[in-house]
Structure formats: structure tokens, C-alpha cells
Structure 1
Amino acid sequence: MLKFNLFPFEKIRSGQAEFMNDVAAAIENRKILLSHAPTGIGKTVSALVPAVEYALKNDKIVFFLTSKQSQHKIVIETLKKMSNISDSKIKVVDLISKQAMCPREIAAEHPALFSDFCRLDQKTGRCKYFINNNNQFKEKINSEILHVEEFKKLCSNEWVCPHKCALELISTANVVVCDYNYLFTDIYDNFSDKIGKSLSDFIVIIDEAHNLSNRLVDYLSGELNVDILDGARKEAQKIDRKDLSQIIKKLIGFFESQPKNKEVNVLLGFLIDKLNNILKESLNPIGFDDFFEELKKAADEVFEQKVAEEYSKLNFLKTFLEGWKTNSPCSRIFSFVDSPKLSYKLLDPSSLSNTVLSKVHSAILMSGTFSPPEMYADVLGISNERAIFKIYPSYFPQENRFVAVTKNLTSLYSYRSKDMFYAIAEKITNISKIIIEKTGQNIAVFFPSYLFLNEVQQYIDDKLKSKLIVELRHMRKTDKENLYNQLKFFPGKILFGVIAGSLSEGFDYENNLLKCVIVVGLPLNPPDLFRKNFQEYYCKKFGKRKGILYSNTYPAINKAVQAGGRAIRSETDRAIIVLMDYRYIFPEYMQCLPPEWNARSSDKIEDLCEKFFDKNNSYNKEN
């Protein structure tokens, strides 16, 4: 084993030494490590220690990318501990979104307007925080490792823009903790010149890396409907831009003239060509680029005159057109089912990820649901020459986890009926009664959709309905935190939520808060036109077998595994995971489940629950 001087803890966990050695080797050899590393291996410190040690010795910079603010705190605390035993000072920048770092009240009160007012106030010099260049303060604040909230408070006290200050400090940083979009979107272009280093000097650690491809797809996606267009038209009228108002009115007419009750693929020229024709026929004919510039000016004027109700629809239209013109492979769809709308969505995330990952010194992609890692290398465009694939075993006691697959139950569309919903509700009821009786603790049930959840909920035993707490569509973060607190402080609850939501992926249920997680159904994506385009694109790029696996099968299983994994968060947690769909036992799905799950099929899940908790006395209510 290599010696790591910055490891801040007395004891190295099982598997940690192997992971650190692999990270060190990948960085030394300019490779990209794609690692399936289950919860409990200590991924954060194991990736940071060898990366920071190499960066300090070789004048590199570490970018730790994470989508969760809770993970920011863990990373910063780990870096503080490492800095305490380091011979040289570790300089760190903790960075979140510009809006979240802004100290002005309007950032929280009017989030939809933030990008407009921030851009305009910087341009006009009205933001007193942005124009204040306090270099002496920057030197002082750069001398210690701070959580972003601490950093924001200190900057605010000195009337310094926290976001601008953080970006300027990157040039002297050894580690930057930030979201994916700071490297993989055009945000990087806005601050890359401040870093003083090229991508070849970057060591990139991507946490929860299974999310990266979806995040990139979401980033390069947009939807434009008639309501937005009509709002943009009205804004143009209010600022006396009748020329723009007339152009947008004709665009609305074009949308509404399309065949109804249809969803069709369209090309880039569907919108651009029509818009160019409208522009040529206008009273003052202009080209597309000039029209785009006029939209930008008008959007600024809308904000100046405060005529936007929530956000500038003209600015939204400008942003949509900017995305629509992308050269990246996209699915472009015109739909006129309820009302006409035009959308685009990225088909190939590697068009964004490869431009970064092909140039960095090294990268560590890690996740507890990163199987098979070869798929992620293909999807993200990582070459075989640079890729290293590693699947680490779980070091949690096998006897603390039991994974069962139910027979006869399914979410398959052709089997959805009143009888199936009733049978699923009955099985959930029976299992929940046993868990609550044996442990007095909580159960989480995750469904493939809100619609499916509602169908099942109506058949839950009346005696258990008082114990139900249910995630609703469009619930705010604070409301979901309230659900979590009910589990924590009033145990014996049954949580109903959806797969791939924040309750099934974003929350850590610490201290064995869940004694059972039930994953209802197989969360395959609905067979809409975009999914058809997506699968066809992947089949063409990777071949039919891989195309279907990559576009449909693997993503579905990983979402189910994320949900099921909420049950076991530490080596002392003990729980049952129930996969409530007989298809999980099929070889093409079973091979995608974590090997340590050792799932087995049974039509007597209730008996297995009884035996599991009878055997483990520590689950009794009195404990």
C-alpha cells in the first residue's frame, strides 16, 4: 500500500486502501477511473487524499464536482482535517450557484428574475457588491478553508460579491468544490480565464457520477409554447416594440397552423427557416442574428421598466433560440396535443462531456450505483485507452441486508388494472404491518410515477392510512424535509414517494431510519417520441443490444437501486429491500443489480420479513 500523508483519520476502512491506491495510480498515469463504490467505502476522503497530494506536488488543481450542497459540507470538513496535518496550506474555494451566493434580498424574493437583474446591474455598475474590489479582504479570506455559507457571510459583511470573489480566488486554489455545470457547460467559459491553468492541469473528481449524463441532457433542453410566446408579445408591446410584437404574433400563428393531435420530429430549419421568412417580410427586414440582438436589448428593457410579471418571456425566447441552434445532436419535436409547443433535448451527452474529459489531466468518476461502468464510459465519450473500470465490493455485513423480488406483481403497462393495483396495495399493507409490529419503525415505498402511486394508495388498508405520509407532485423542498422529519421524530410511518425523486435519491436516511424499502415496479421510461428517438440514436451509435441496454434497461435499474439503497446507509443498518416486480428476476435485469444484493424471488415475502426481524433481536421495539 502507498503511504498517504494527508489521510486525516487513524484507521483506514476496509476497501479504502485499495480505492486510494487506484485513485493515485489513475492520476499518476493520466487515466480516468470509473468506479462503482458502494456506500461505506469512504469515497470522499479516499478520492481527495491522493488527488490533493498529487496536485500540491505537481502544481495541479482539483475540481470536486457534486450536485448536492450537503456533500459540499462533507468535502469541506474533510479538507479542513487534511489541511490540519499538511505541511503546506491547502487553499480551497467552495462554489455554488451565483443566485444562492448573492447577498441581495431580491435573489431570494424573485429567483426567476435573478439572472436578468444581476446581468443588468453588473453592466450598469448598480450592484455595490460587484463593483467593490477589496483585494486586502480577498487575501485575508483566502487564508482559511470556509464553507460557502461562511464565505458568503464574510463577503457580505465587507460589501463584496461572494460569487465574483470566489471565482477570482480560483487562480490560487488547490481545490475547487462546485457543481457539474461549472466545468461541463458554458459557465466554464465565463471564468476559465481567471483560473490561470488549462484543462490539462485539472484533476476532476465527479461524485454521484451516474447523474452526470442526465444533467447534461437537462442542460441542453428547452420547450417553447404559445403561452410563452404570447407573454413575449405582450412584453414587447409594453415597451413599445411593435416590430418585435408583430414578428412574435406571426410566429404564434405559425405554431397554431400546424396539424392538431400530433407529435412529430422536426429539423433545425423548422423554426429557423420560418423565422427568417417572417423577418424578411417584416416592415423593417432584418436577419436572424440582428433579431437575436434586438431580443436581448428588449429583454433588458423589460427588466429596466419592470414590466415582467415573473420573468422576462422575451429573455426566455432568446434563451430558447440560443439553445435551439446548437450543433450537438438533439431530438427536436413539435407537439400539438393540448396546445402547440416546440422542444429540443440533447441526445448525446458526450458532445458536452468529452470536450472536458478528453483534455483533463485525470478524472475520478465515482458512485454507489455506477454499474456497469463501461456503459458510462461509452455514454460520456471516454476512450478505452484512458478508462479504468473498477467495481468495489460492499463492506457492509451481508446478513444486515435482505433483498427479495415478489412474484406475480408488476408495473408493466399491459397488466395495469384495478386488480393489479389492489394486489400491490395488499402486499404493501401486509409487509408494512409486519415491519411496524416487529420494529415500530418506518417503511418507504417508491413508485414509478405519481399516477401509479395514487392508484395504489386508494386500496391501502384503512387501518394503515393514518400512518401514511405521501410525497405530492410539485412539493417544495421544505415540505419534503417535513416528511423526512416525521419519519425521524414520529416513527412507525409509511412513506409513499416516487422513484428518481429527491426522497428516493437525495435524502440520506441516517441511523437506520428505514427498516424496509419497497420499490414498486420497474421504472422504465414512458415510450414517448423522445424516448424512441433516444433509443434509435443509441442503437445506431452503439449497436442494437447496447443501444437498448444504455437507453432503457440500465437507467431503469440504477434508479431502482438508488431507491432501494436508501435502506442501508451504514455498516450497522439492517433492513429489507423488496423489489415489487417479477421482471427483476429476469437475467437482463438481475445482472444489473449490485452483486452484494443477492436478490431472490419469493411469493412469501411476508414470511421472510417475519423471520428476518425475529432473527435480528436488535430490531425489537424496546431497542
Structure 2
Amino acid sequence: MNQKNRLSVRKLVEFVLKKGSIDERYTGSAHTAIEGTKIHQKIQKEAGDNYQKEVFLKKELLINKRDYSIEGRADGVVEEKTGEYWIDEIKTSEIAFDLIPDNTLDLFWGQLMCYGYLLAVEKELTEIELQLTYYETLEEKITRSRKKVTFTELASFFNHLIEQYEKWVIFNDNWRILRNQSIKQLPFPYGDYRSGQRELAVAVYKTIVTEQNLYCEAPTGIGKTMSTLFPAVKSIGEEKAEKLFYLTAKTITRQVAEDAVEQMERNGAKLKSVTLTAKDKICFLDERKCDPEHCIFARGYYDRLNEALFELLQQENHFTRDIVENYARKYTLCPFELSLDISLWCDIIICDYNYLFDPIVYLKRFFNEEKNDYVFLIDEVHNLVNRSREMFSASLSEQKIALVYKELLKEDQKQRRVMNRLIKDFKSFRTNCGERDFMTQSEPADLFLKHVTKFTEGTKEWLLANQQSSSHSKMVELYFEALTYLKISELYDERYVTYVHLVGEDVLIKQFCLNPSFLINQTLKRGKASVLFSATLSPINYFAQLLGGEEKPLMYQLPSPFKQEHQFLAIANYIDTRYQVRQDSYQPIASALNIMVSQKKGNYLFFFPSYHYLEAVYQVFIENNPTIETVVQERVMDEGQRESFLKKFKNAPESSLAGFCVLGGIFSEGIDLKGERLIGVAIVGVGLAQLNVEADLVRKHYQLENQKGYQFAYQIPGMNKVLQAAGRVIRSEMDRGVVLLLDQRFNAKRYRELFPEHWQRMEISRNESQLKQQVGAFWEQK
């Protein structure tokens, strides 16, 4: 039986029978998955010796002339001495049984009816008894409901589900045939391969076929988006992969992936793709409230979904944000949920990292079951180290809890008690810190976790009973932060630390993931193959180790396709930017920047390690160069302001433009200023993060693990920011430009060892006059 033709009972029932509204008021649980499993096991154990647990059931049948296996696992099956059977389905929730919406109960019974049918077919039964066992976690109360059904009733119900699902199978089969035929004939979209492009495409294809993980550095100019997507699409056409997930850290990169998919379609490929946009960004409401009382797009969502979905899948192939929003308005459907439901029928899903890696928001509809034939293409993967630490960590704030506590009415005594217990915990944390503002422990704060669990249990009840309260939205936010804290506690092991930090008047407690490599590795196992790639993945051993690479990871580094002589690269060896002498560097840096812009009219970007440093040098620069146009990155910029900033960098400028930016910020990676839109970059400092609590915890962890604490926590992450900023200059084969590294530390062996291969033509500038001569000579070359 082909694995692609397996269909779970739960998915079948939910797809056909799910009705009603989206209602997040009834979602989220204080009880962890581990606790849920324990409850199931306890109920099963108490059921008696003749209670068979986790019974696998299946039926093979033809749908549209294709073999399908309908499968499920019943929580319990009992054969009585009389030869009669009954089947049990266990459900757990914090909601009281009499408050469960009818449409949810219909799904519970729908699963039971299917399990009953599968068992009746297997055992040749004429009737069977079905039992729904419902465990209410807050009250620790069990409600059981039973009914006896005949085989005729079971068969009628099951066949109705299959009949309803059949048109979707036919649609999907027809699409698959059309897609595969088109992909088979698909040429490489750009005709000739660029230098290194074919090699990368071959490496990606082999990685997919052999079901491995590849760590790849593909410098700017190779065309890494198409070089990874094209072979992955070919693997879909050969049915070596079921779906592609193209994962990125930034919106602008998702646009590049969309463009690549559309380019393949222009060359004849038939592909369905969807781009997922964050729920808060795509929501049509000013304040997101996902329940039928506040949102017309949530109200009756599932009643309208399947009819709308079937129509739009036949009309469109590429579901960008705009297209999703248009259809969502047309059919009055939540745009976020619609994009997720569309994704089930797509070949390519373009989305942020968190939809795979985040333990809270990952796509459960794809990744909650066993491994599937999914391929993960993970772009800009140098960002995943810090992003994964964030996703696998969680914190709670005393101030936030105290603020909501103060707003509660005096009659909310039960809720005030559970919150007061947390506030007392935070006071103990403050006391334990003593004269320090910081303390750590390797073990989780178990007593605090128990109190957080009690808080979430009580809060769910309070939220349902106080929907009109002025504190409701703040309590919802706090509730989900607490749930996240509990979820992260399930992942806690020796790669974690719990720390308490006194920040002003606030007390923060955080479960901090020091080393995300194991969790990344486990997440990648949700698919058959992964390609983790970036233009800057040096040193590649470091990134492979931190990004889930096992003992002998598959690594591949491509050379830059551009001529090294097109870029002048120099270290200003006379400039010292270390913190203790930083003030003395303002004038030399401003002079070096002036040399840069004075040697050739054009557009330049200057990157600084902090806003304070930027502002100090900026003042000196404009005093020395009052006629040069400048633009400065603001501390906070919306998308419109970012676009306005970049629009100033024009081809064939009439005068020079100097942009002052922060290293590691929004303009130091992910922007594409080809040709004369940018001809020079200067980078001040070696990119070291300021000493901070978390970076130092990471340093200590890796110092114990491999004696490379400083490198792993500070030096290599800083150098990666430098490489990203420098990569803004040469974006095409025709580009020429200058990169100045304004810090003598770049000339030290420990930094030179981190330089990529295409940085070997490095000049050393020992003073201003030599720098001026070197830059001038570069621009005089033809």
C-alpha cells in the first residue's frame, strides 16, 4: 500500500463533518501532552484486563480506482464473554461535558462510528456498542455515554463519509496527474545554469532522494532560491516527495520564493502554492478576537468552508496573501484559517520558520502524526540559531501578572488567589537574588510550574465566565503566555537553564534554551529530507552543529560566482573600535567614510554596532560633509518607512547618498540593491553583541561542552552579521563595489580564519592616506 494513499479516521471525519464556527475561547489547555497521555493510560488501566488498549484498525478500499487505507487507533476495545464487542474513545478537556458544542460532539461520535465500522468489518459483527469516555480535567470528572448501533447503520454512515470525500479524491488525483506530467517536461526556468547553480541543484536532488539533511553555503549570485526549489519540484513530479515547505525568516525572502514558483509556472509547470501570513497581520479586525460573537469571518466558518474551498482550488493555483484575502472576503471566511485549509491541497507551502519549529504554533495538521514525505527548504538558515532559541524558550513577567491582578474586581476571589500565589513566587525570586540582579538554576522551578498550571486552569474558567470584563483581553494574553511556559517545560532537559532577572522594577523568570540543536534535529525528522542553506554559513561546521547536524552532517560550500576583482575589500588597520577607546574612533571613522564617498559618486551604506555609536559618528560626519545627502535608519520603522528608505538608493544617482544603519538590523540583510543602487559598504566593528545575560549563559554552556564558548556565543554570530552586511554590495555579475572593514581586529588570525574563500583578496590600510590611494586606484580600474 502506497503511504500517500493512507487516510486517518480523524482527518476523514473532521474534513467531512466539521461544522460551526472558529472559537478560540475553547482552545488551549493547561495540561501538557504528557499529562494527557497519563490520563488516557490511567483510564485504560482501570477499565479491566479484557480492555484492549490502542487497537489499530483499518480498511482497504478503492476510491476513484486508487487503493486507499482508512486507518485509526481505537483507545479501547472490549470483547465480552457473550461474544459482543464494545469500543471506547477517550477525550480529555477542561470544558465541562454539558458545555461541549454539539458540532464538537458530532466529531467525537463520528470517530467512534468509523472505528465501530472498521471493527465490525474485521470481526464480522452485526452490531456493536460505542462508548464515549469524557474526562474533565479541572474537576477530574468522568462522563460516559453509550449507544448500540447496527452494522447497517455503521456502514451507511461510513459510506456517506467516503461519498462526500470522493469528489476531493478525484480532484486531487486529476491534479496530481496534470502536475506530474508538467513537471516531467519542465526545463530549468532560466535556460543556462549560472556558475555553481547546477552543482547545487544536483546536491539538493540527491539529498531528497537519499532522505538526508544538507547544510549548504550558497553565496549571493548563485540563485539559491531556484537552485533549491527546481530539484525539489522535480522530486514532487516523480512522487519522491509529497509537499515542499519553503521556510524563511523574512517577508522579502518569501516574495522571492513566490516569484520562483511563478517563473516555473510560466515555463509550463502546474503547481499549487500558498504563502502563509501571520495571524495578526492578515486578520481583518482591528483587534483580533477569534470567536463567533466578535468576528463574522469566524462565525459559521466550517459551514461555508468546503464549498468555497472546492471552488477556489479550481480557479487558482498560487495563493499569495492578496489572493487569500480576496477569497476570504468573498466567502466571509477567516483569511488565516483559509490559508491553512488551502495548504492541505498545495504542493508548495511558503512560510515562516515558526510553522515548523515553534512548539506552540507549528502546523499540527501536517506534523502531529508520523513522519511524512515532506521536504523542508530552509532559507537564510543562519537566522535559525537565534530564532530557534527564542521559539524553544519562554518567560513570565511579574509586572504583567501584577497589572492584570490589580484590575480584577474584588469579587473575583478565586482568580485573585491563584494570581496572588504567582506574585508571591516572584517576590521569593527577588529575595533569592539578594544584592545581585540575576540568578540561575539548571533545574526547572517545579513549584512555580505547579502554580502556573493552577493559574491556567482557573483562568480558562474565568475567561469563559467574564467575556465582557475590561480585563478580558489582557487576561487572554497572560493565559497564553502561561500555556507557552508550561509547554516549554515539557522540552526542558540539560540543554536548558532557568534564570531570574531583575529588570528595573520587574522580575522576569525564563526557561532558556541554551543549545537548540537536539530540538531542531527532532523537528527535521517530521520530513524525509531537509536543505538548510544561506549565503553566509561560515564556518559551516559551527552552523551544522548548532542546527541539528548529527555526527557526520552532509555539508556543501560553493564558491562565489562573481569575479573577486569586482570588489575592493580592505581592513582599516589603524581604527580601534573597542569599547574602552570608542570615543577616540569617531573622527577616524568619519574620515574613512568621507574617503569612501569622495572617491566615487554613488550610494553607500554604513553599518554600526549600536544606535549610540551610529549617532555619534553621524554628527561628526555631517559636520565634516554638510553637502552630502544622508539617510538614517530609525530605531522603529514600519514597512512604509523601510520602503521609503530604500527608494532613495537609485540607479545613476546625480549625487552621493550615505545611509547610516545598524549592523544586524533590517537593512543589513535581505535587501537587494543591484547595479549602482549600492556601490559601497563600510562596517564599523566586528559585530560583537554587547555583553548580556543570555549570550553569557550560552558562552558558559559551550565552554563546558567544547571549550569554544566565546566563539560560539559572540565571535561567530558577530562575524555572520558582518558577512551579511558586506553581501549587500555585489549582487550581480556586472556589479562593482567597495567593502571597508573599520576595525583592526579583523586583521587578527582568529577573524581571518572566519573569512569566506572569496575574501582572500583582502587589502590592509594602515592609515588614511593609504586607504584613499587604494580606494581611488580600485575605481580607476576599467
Which secondary structure does the structure 2 equivalent of 1:484 belong to?
helix
State how far apart, in whole Å, the 2-side matches of 1:584 and 1:122 are. Answer: 60
1:147-296 alignment runs, 5 A limit: 147-187=320-360, 190-192=363-365, 198-237=370-409, 240=412, 241-259=415-433, 261-267=435-441, 271-273=445-447, 289-296=453-460
What residue is the counterpart of 2:740 in the other structure? 578
State how far apart, in whole Å, the 2-side matches of 1:270 and 1:311 are. Answer: 24
Kept in 2: contact 1:235–1:314 (CA 8 A): no
Which secondary structure does the structure 1 equivalent of 2:304 belong to?
coil
Judged with a 3 Å threshold, the aligned counterparts in structure 2 of structure 1 residues 31 and 314 are, in CA distance, closer, same or farther, namely closer
Kindly state the Cα deviation for residue 258 of structure 1 after the two structures are TM-superposed.
Answer: 4.6
Judged with a 3 Å threshold, the aligned counterparts in structure 2 of structure 1 residues 449 and 129 are, in CA distance, closer, same or farther, namely farther
What residue is the counterpart of 1:507 in the other structure? 671
1:137 to 308, 313, 316: 308
Deviations 1:266-303 (A, max 9, x none): 33767542575xx6xxxxxxxx5333211334456666
State how far apart, in whole Å, the 2-side matches of 1:268 and 1:231 are. Answer: 29
Kindly state the Cα deviation for residue 98 of structure 1 after the two structures are TM-superposed.
Answer: 2.0
Taking structure 1 as the reference length, the TM-score comes to 0.85
User: Bigger shift: 217-226 or 605-614?
Assistant: 217-226
Deviations 1:38-97 (A, max 9, x none): 11101111111111111221252111111222222222222223234447x322222121
Kindly state the Cα deviation for residue 304 of structure 1 after the two structures are TM-superposed.
Answer: 4.0
Judged with a 3 Å threshold, the aligned counterparts in structure 2 of structure 1 residues 121 and 568 are, in CA distance, closer, same or farther, namely farther
Judged with a 3 Å threshold, the aligned counterparts in structure 2 of structure 1 residues 481 and 592 are, in CA distance, closer, same or farther, namely same
Deviations 1:527-563 (A, max 9, x none): 333222211212333x114x44333222111111111
Relative contact order, higher structure (CA 8 A, sep 6+): 1
State how far apart, in whole Å, the 2-side matches of 1:37 and 1:556 are. Answer: 19
Kindly state the Cα deviation for residue 197 of structure 1 after the two structures are TM-superposed.
Answer: 7.7
Larger CA Rg, structure 1 vs 2? 2
Which secondary structure does the structure 2 equivalent of 1:218 belong to?
helix
Deviations 1:446-474 (A, max 9, x none): 11112222333343351425633222323
Which secondary structure does the structure 2 equivalent of 1:178 belong to?
strand
2:777 to 594, 600, 611: 611
What residue is the counterpart of 1:38 in the other structure? 219
1:430-441 alignment runs, 5 A limit: 430-441=591-602
5+ residue gaps, structure 2: 1-183
Judged with a 3 Å threshold, the aligned counterparts in structure 2 of structure 1 residues 478 and 300 are, in CA distance, closer, same or farther, namely farther
Kindly state the Cα deviation for residue 36 of structure 1 after the two structures are TM-superposed.
Answer: 0.8
RMSD: 3.0
State how far apart, in whole Å, the 1-side matches of 2:294 and 2:472 are. Answer: 20
What residue is the counterpart of 2:647 in the other structure? 485
Judged with a 3 Å threshold, the aligned counterparts in structure 2 of structure 1 residues 437 and 321 are, in CA distance, closer, same or farther, namely closer
5+ residue gaps, structure 1: 280-287, 617-623
Judged with a 3 Å threshold, the aligned counterparts in structure 2 of structure 1 residues 579 and 332 are, in CA distance, closer, same or farther, namely same
Report the residue type matching 1:528 in the other structure: N
State how far apart, in whole Å, the 2-side matches of 1:303 and 1:402 are. Answer: 63
Report the residue type matching 2:385 in the other structure: S
Judged with a 3 Å threshold, the aligned counterparts in structure 2 of structure 1 residues 267 and 301 are, in CA distance, closer, same or farther, namely farther
Report the residue type matching 1:589 in the other structure: Y
Which secondary structure does the structure 2 equivalent of 1:39 belong to?
coil
What residue is the counterpart of 1:394 in the other structure? 560
Which secondary structure does the structure 2 equivalent of 1:497 belong to?
strand
1:340-419 alignment runs, 5 A limit: 340-344=506-510, 345-385=512-552, 387-413=553-579, 415-419=580-584
Kept in 2: contact 1:435–1:441 (CA 8 A): no
State how far apart, in whole Å, the 2-side matches of 1:155 and 1:274 are. Answer: 43
Judged with a 3 Å threshold, the aligned counterparts in structure 2 of structure 1 residues 446 and 238 are, in CA distance, closer, same or farther, namely farther
2:242 to 56, 60, 74: 60
Which secondary structure does the structure 2 equivalent of 1:576 belong to?
strand
Kept in 2: contact 1:402–1:597 (CA 8 A): no
Which secondary structure does the structure 2 equivalent of 1:390 belong to?
strand
Kept in 1: contact 2:517–2:546 (CA 8 A): yes
1:68-83 alignment runs, 5 A limit: 68-83=250-265
Kept in 1: contact 2:399–2:507 (CA 8 A): no
User: Bigger shift: 339-348 or 210-219?
Assistant: 339-348
What residue is the counterpart of 1:567 in the other structure? 729
State how far apart, in whole Å, the 2-side matches of 1:7 and 1:51 are. Answer: 12
Kept in 2: contact 1:39–1:569 (CA 8 A): yes
Taking structure 2 as the reference length, the TM-score comes to 0.69
Report the residue type matching 1:583 in the other structure: R
State how far apart, in whole Å, the 2-side matches of 1:430 and 1:175 are. Answer: 50
Kept in 2: contact 1:353–1:380 (CA 8 A): yes
Kindly state the Cα deviation for residue 379 of structure 1 after the two structures are TM-superposed.
Answer: 0.7
Kept in 2: contact 1:268–1:325 (CA 8 A): no
Which secondary structure does the structure 2 equivalent of 1:242 belong to?
helix
Identity of aligned residues (%): 25
The answer to whether the aligner puts 1:19 opposite 2:186 as a matched pair is no
Kindly state the Cα deviation for residue 597 of structure 1 after the two structures are TM-superposed.
Answer: 2.0
Report the residue type matching 2:763 in the other structure: R
Kindly state the Cα deviation for residue 255 of structure 1 after the two structures are TM-superposed.
Answer: 4.7
What residue is the counterpart of 1:544 in the other structure? 707
Kept in 2: contact 1:261–1:338 (CA 8 A): no
State how far apart, in whole Å, the 2-side matches of 1:340 and 1:258 are. Answer: 15
Judged with a 3 Å threshold, the aligned counterparts in structure 2 of structure 1 residues 237 and 251 are, in CA distance, closer, same or farther, namely farther
State how far apart, in whole Å, the 2-side matches of 1:349 and 1:338 are. Answer: 29
What residue is the counterpart of 2:688 in the other structure? 524
Which secondary structure does the structure 1 equivalent of 2:527 belong to?
coil
- Higher-strand-fraction structure: 2
Kept in 1: contact 2:419–2:455 (CA 8 A): no
Deviations 1:364-383 (A, max 9, x none): 11111011222122112222
Judged with a 3 Å threshold, the aligned counterparts in structure 2 of structure 1 residues 128 and 580 are, in CA distance, closer, same or farther, namely same
The answer to whether the aligner puts 1:5 opposite 2:186 as a matched pair is yes
Kept in 1: contact 2:292–2:298 (CA 8 A): yes
Judged with a 3 Å threshold, the aligned counterparts in structure 2 of structure 1 residues 44 and 239 are, in CA distance, closer, same or farther, namely farther
Which secondary structure does the structure 1 equivalent of 2:675 belong to?
coil
Kept in 1: contact 2:293–2:299 (CA 8 A): no
Judged with a 3 Å threshold, the aligned counterparts in structure 2 of structure 1 residues 362 and 26 are, in CA distance, closer, same or farther, namely same
Kept in 2: contact 1:448–1:498 (CA 8 A): yes
Report the residue type matching 1:430 in the other structure: S
State how far apart, in whole Å, the 2-side matches of 1:243 and 1:257 are. Answer: 21
Deviations 1:419-469 (A, max 9, x none): 2x3xxx334433443444443322211111122223333433514256332
Kept in 1: contact 2:426–2:507 (CA 8 A): no
1:581-600 alignment runs, 5 A limit: 581-598=743-760, 599-600=762-763
State how far apart, in whole Å, the 2-side matches of 1:239 and 1:475 are. Answer: 43
State how far apart, in whole Å, the 2-side matches of 1:175 and 1:275 are. Answer: 39
What residue is the counterpart of 1:282 in the other structure? none
Kindly tell me the number of residue pairs found equivalent between the two proteins: 584
State how far apart, in whole Å, the 1-side matches of 2:248 and 2:423 are. Answer: 43
Judged with a 3 Å threshold, the aligned counterparts in structure 2 of structure 1 residues 611 and 27 are, in CA distance, closer, same or farther, namely same
Which secondary structure does the structure 2 equivalent of 1:266 belong to?
strand
Which secondary structure does the structure 1 equivalent of 2:375 belong to?
strand
Kept in 1: contact 2:591–2:621 (CA 8 A): no
